[in-house]
């Protein structure tokens, strides 16, 4: 998850850097791009309903006969129309405010019994009455259809009420002060609070560990209930299907799959056909290519509109204000897209066409789609300003990760579902099928495709259990061999599986050779990594006062150091 979030952060940061470093004066002075053709203007049309589910639009009807570009107000208006029973946010906010310190924020929450030392640090609290109460609340809240948090620069009214109620009960708790929130404020999408993403992810850590605790004590029904809610709740991350939300959604689903794989590897005997059928139903809800590029485009266009002047052209003044205010973006221009300046239009054109290529790249089998995704940029580069070129040169590599990460997760889902199909076959016939083709047709409600070959996944019976694997990025069947990497921490060595890299055929030709050991990608049952050794208590200690003293001593000796000017 950290890697995906880093990539998502790069995407967002680039949008800000674009505004900060536009070089608007030089561009407007020395470069005048060609206007778009009629065909190119037609390509700017976008169906925002794909990003918003048809529930709202970036174009907000103010109610006075005027329509303006204000995604935040439009979204908040829709959220206000939902009933409390449709929104998870009311419960999530209360659970976070009341139980973060005592339960959710525990260092090793999210651990499974595969890591005995860390598991021991949370096992007792997982059996507490407090833990039971939190689980009951989350099973209700995470099962609701919408997240329900409002957008804004700061804490929304629901989260504010939860923190305020806690502060009234506990004088030591954080006091949120006065509520400062206007649901109609035209806040930039990039700068809007995304607190629900982190809070939701934190709570799914708890649900995973709590479910494992219950299974260890024979409560299989409770475990299955929790896994179903966990999988379904991943959709809550997609209030807008932008990059960062995609990675949170995949991370939550991956956590559920890891937990299910552990359970079926360690406690297979307690599961019945009814349990397997319910798990399959939940996992089958995963919808193809999760990367919805229109969501990222909404954020991109919102950012561009806030560095325009009233005439729809790049604004030197707006860029300077952004540079002075850091992350703050100004108010957007409300012109229709066909009235924006040619520089803005051409960047939007390239991004829209790239988005459509990303859509197409979701087809399986997967091969490196980077060249196709980049084609719209290469076709337009001669017509773009230097600033636009620089911005897209940085942005494109990060965007290319979306389809790759989505395809990778699709394979993981296919693998676990195929494994469950084999387990259901065992329940029905008393023995595992000897091949994928041997699974009863009514139990195999998916195409068991290997995303790297386009053919069926490999299926073997190993130690009396199904073993399912993909041939992996080298596109060679190595018999299901797993590549293990030796790592070291605090003098202790441990082994972890080699991460899967979504490489295309051209990349494989460069990276792999006869001299390099090759391996496959296990999908079910997945051999567990060795737990990372626990560090010493002092490893995580950071003495801020000591660090500041060193800075002061250095400045006394060498003088205050200027902040580097990166241009």
pLDDT tens digits, one per residue of 230-261: 999 999 988 877 888 888 999 999 999 999 99
Residue 256 lies in a domain: yes
Same domain, 131 and 204: yes
Decide which of 282, 303, 324 is a domain's last residue. 282
Residue 63 lies in a domain: yes
Answer whether 332's CB lies under 8 Å from 305's CB. yes
* pLDDT value at 332 more than 80: yes
* pLDDT value at 192 more than 70: yes
293: tokens are 């590029």
Same domain, 167 and 295: no
* pLDDT value at 472 more than 50: yes
179 Cβ contact partners less than 8 Å away, ≥ 6 residues apart: 155, 157, 160
Residue 23 lies in a domain: yes
Same domain, 162 and 271: yes
Decide which of 486, 503, 524 is a domain's last residue. 524
Same domain, 170 and 277: yes
User: How many angstroms separate the CA atoms of 460 and 525, rounded?
Assistant: 11
Same domain, 451 and 476: yes
* 378 class by beta-carbon count within 10 Å (0-12 exposed, 13-18 middle, 19+ buried): exposed
Residue 247 lies in a domain: yes
Residue 370 lies in a domain: no
The confidence band for 501, taking pLDDT boundaries of 50, 70 and 90, is confident
Kindly report which listed range (107-121, 271-285, 298-312) carries the lowest average pLDDT score: 298-312
Same domain, 50 and 153: no
Extended beta strands in 490-529, E state: 492-497, 521-524
**Which of helix, strand or coil describes residue 515?**
coil
Residue 312 lies in a domain: yes
Kindly report which listed range (185-194, 286-295, 418-427, 458-467) carries the lowest average pLDDT score: 286-295
The confidence band for 321, taking pLDDT boundaries of 50, 70 and 90, is low
**Which of helix, strand or coil describes residue 258?**
helix
- HSE-CB at 484 with a 13 A cutoff on CA atoms is 11
Answer whether 244's CB lies under 8 Å from 12's CB. yes
As a whole-number percent, the residues of the chain with pLDDT over 70 amount to: 81
Residue 373 lies in a domain: no
Same domain, 61 and 84: no
Residue 492 lies in a domain: yes
Q: Cα(first)–Cα(last) distance of the chain, in Å? A: 32
Same domain, 349 and 470: no
Kindly report which listed range (119-133, 300-314, 408-422) carries the lowest average pLDDT score: 300-314
Measuring CA to CA, how many Å separate 256 from each of 19, 92, 418?
39, 19, 16
User: How many angstroms separate the CA atoms of 75 and 77, rounded?
Assistant: 5
Same domain, 338 and 247: no
Same domain, 104 and 176: yes
Residue 103 has phi, psi (to 5 degrees) of -140, -65
Decide which of 231, 253, 282 is a domain's last residue. 282
256: tokens are 């559920």
Answer whether 181's CB lies under 8 Å from 192's CB. no
Kindly report which listed range (32-36, 354-358, 401-405) carries the lowest average pLDDT score: 32-36
The confidence band for 562, taking pLDDT boundaries of 50, 70 and 90, is very low
Measuring CA to CA, how many Å separate 252 from each of 202, 236, 248?
10, 10, 6
Q: Tell me the mean pLDDT in the region 141-160.
A: 94
Same domain, 118 and 205: yes
Number of structural domains found in the chain: 3
Answer whether 549's CB lies under 8 Å from 491's CB. no
Q: Specify the pLDDT at position 234.
A: 92
**Which of helix, strand or coil describes residue 304?**
helix
Q: Tell me the mean pLDDT in the region 439-455.
A: 93
Same domain, 305 and 215: no
| Average pLDDT taken over every residue of the chain | 84
DSSP 561: P
User: How many angstroms separate the CA atoms of 70 and 60, rounded?
Assistant: 6
Domain holding 266, by residue range, is 76-282
Q: Specify the pLDDT at position 560.
A: 43
């Amino acid at each position: 998850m950290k890697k995906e979030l880093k990539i998502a952060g790069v995407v967002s940061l680039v949008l800000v850097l674009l505004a900060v470093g536009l070089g608007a004066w030089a561009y407007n002075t020395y470069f005048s791009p060609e206007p778009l053709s009629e065909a190119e203007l037609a390509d700017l049309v976008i169906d925002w309903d794909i990003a918003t589910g048809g529930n709202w639009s970036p174009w907000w009807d103010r109610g006075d006969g005027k329509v303006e570009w204000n995604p935040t107000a439009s979204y908040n208006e829709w959220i206000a129309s939902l009933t409390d029973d449709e929104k998870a946010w009311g419960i999530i906010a209360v659970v976070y405010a009341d139980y973060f310190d005592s339960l959710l924020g525990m260092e090793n929450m999210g651990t499974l019994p595969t890591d005995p030392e860390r598991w021991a640090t949370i096992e007792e609290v997982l059996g507490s009455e407090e833990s039971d109460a939190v689980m009951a609340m989350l099973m209700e809240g995470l099962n609701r259809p919408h997240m329900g948090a409002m957008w804004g620069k700061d804490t929304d009214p629901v989260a504010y009420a939860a923190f305020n109620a806690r502060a009234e009960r506990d004088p030591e708790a954080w006091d949120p002060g006065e509520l400062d929130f206007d649901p109609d404020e035209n806040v930039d999408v990039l700068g809007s609070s995304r607190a629900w993403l982190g809070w939701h992810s934190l709570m799914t850590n708890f649900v995973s560990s709590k479910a494992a605790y219950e299974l260890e004590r024979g409560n299989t029904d409770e475990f299955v209930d929790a896994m179903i809610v966990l999988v379904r709740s991943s959709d809550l991350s997609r209030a807008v299907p932008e990059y960062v939300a995609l990675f949170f959604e995949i991370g939550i689903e991956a956590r559920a799959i890891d937990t299910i794989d552990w359970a079926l590897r360690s406690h297979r005997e307690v599961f019945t056909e009814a349990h397997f059928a319910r798990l399959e139903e939940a996992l089958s809800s995963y919808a193809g290519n999760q990367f919805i590029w229109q969501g990222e485009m909404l954020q991109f266009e919102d950012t561009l509109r806030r560095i325009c002047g009233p005439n729809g052209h790049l604004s030197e003044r707006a860029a300077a204000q952004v540079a002075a205010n850091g992350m703050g973006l100004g108010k957007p221009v409300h012109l229709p897209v066909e009235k924006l300046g040619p520089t803005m239009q051409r960047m939007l054109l390239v991004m829209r066409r790239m988005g459509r290529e990303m859509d197409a790249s979701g087809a399986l089998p997967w091969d490196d789609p980077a060249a196709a995704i980049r084609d719209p940029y290469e076709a337009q580069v001669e017509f773009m300003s230097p600033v636009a070129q620089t911005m897209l040169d940085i942005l494109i590599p990060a965007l290319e990760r979306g389809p790759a990460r989505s395809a990778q997760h699709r394979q993981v889902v296919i693998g676990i579902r195929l494994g469950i199909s084999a387990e259901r076959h065992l329940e029905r016939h008393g023995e595992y099928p000897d091949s994928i083709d041997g699974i009863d047709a009514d139990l195999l409600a998916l195409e068991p495709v290997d995303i790297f070959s386009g053919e069926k996944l490999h299926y073997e019976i190993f130690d009396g259990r199904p073993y399912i694997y993909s041939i992996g990025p080298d596109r060679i069947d190595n018999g299901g061999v797993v590549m293990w990497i030796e790592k070291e921490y605090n003098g202790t060595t441990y082994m972890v599986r080699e991460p899967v890299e979504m490489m295309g055929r051209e990349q494989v030709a460069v990276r792999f050779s006869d001299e390099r050991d090759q391996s496959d990608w296990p999908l079910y049952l997945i051999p567990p990594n060795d737990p990372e050794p626990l560090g010493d208590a002092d490893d995580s200690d950071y003495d801020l006062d000591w660090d500041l003293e060193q800075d002061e001593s250095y400045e006394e000796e060498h003088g205050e150091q200027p902040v580097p000017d990166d241009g």
